Amino acid sequence: MVKKLLLLVLLAGAGLMFWLGVSDYQVKEELNPIASYYADQGLEETGAANLVTAVVVRYRGLDTLGEVTILFLTASILGFFLIKGNKKETFRDSSEILKTASRLLEPIIILAGVYVFVNGHLTPGGGFQGGAILASALILSYLANPTDGISKTLLKVTESFSGLSFVIIGVLGIVLAGGFLDSTLLPAGSIGNLISAGVIPIIYIFVGLKVGSELAGIVTNLKYAPKNESE
Distances in whole angstroms, Cα of residue 34 to Cα of each of 25, 46, 57, 204: 21, 16, 16, 24
Cβ(129)–Cβ(209) below 8 Å: no
Burial code of 79-95, b = ≥16 C-beta within 10 A, e = fewer? beebeeeeeeeeeeeee
| 98 lies in the binding site for other proteins (CB under 8 A) | no
Neighbours of 139 (CB within 10 A): 18
Task: State the minimum distance, in angstroms, from the CB of residue 219 to other proteins.
Answer: 7
47, 61, 125, 149: residue in contact with other proteins (rule CB under 8 A): 125
What span, in angstroms and rounded, lies between the C-alpha atoms of 197 and 49? Answer: 8
Distances in whole angstroms, Cα of residue 80 to Cα of each of 19, 36, 77, 141: 45, 45, 5, 24
Task: State the minimum distance, in angstroms, from the CB of residue 67 to other proteins.
Answer: 11
13, 15, 107, 124: residue in contact with other proteins (rule CB under 8 A): 124
Site string for other proteins, 204-223 (x = CB under 8 A): -----------x--xx--xx
What span, in angstroms and rounded, lies between the C-alpha atoms of 156 and 220? Answer: 11
| 94 lies in the binding site for other proteins (CB under 8 A) | no
Site string for other proteins, 23-62 (x = CB under 8 A): ---------------------------x-x----------
Length of the chain (residues): 231
54, 139, 155, 169: residue in contact with other proteins (rule CB under 8 A): 139
Q: What number of chain residues touch other proteins (CB under 8 A)?
A: 24
Site string for other proteins, 151-190 (x = CB under 8 A): ----------------------------------------
Q: In sequence order, which residues have a C-beta less than 8 Å from that of residue 71 and are 6 or more positions away?
A: 210, 211, 214, 215
61/126 with CB nearer other proteins: 126
What span, in angstroms and rounded, lies between the C-alpha atoms of 130 and 128? Answer: 6
> Where do contacts with other proteins occur on this chain (CB under 8 A)?
50, 52, 116, 124-126, 128-129, 132-133, 135-136, 139, 215, 218-219, 222-223, 225, 227-231
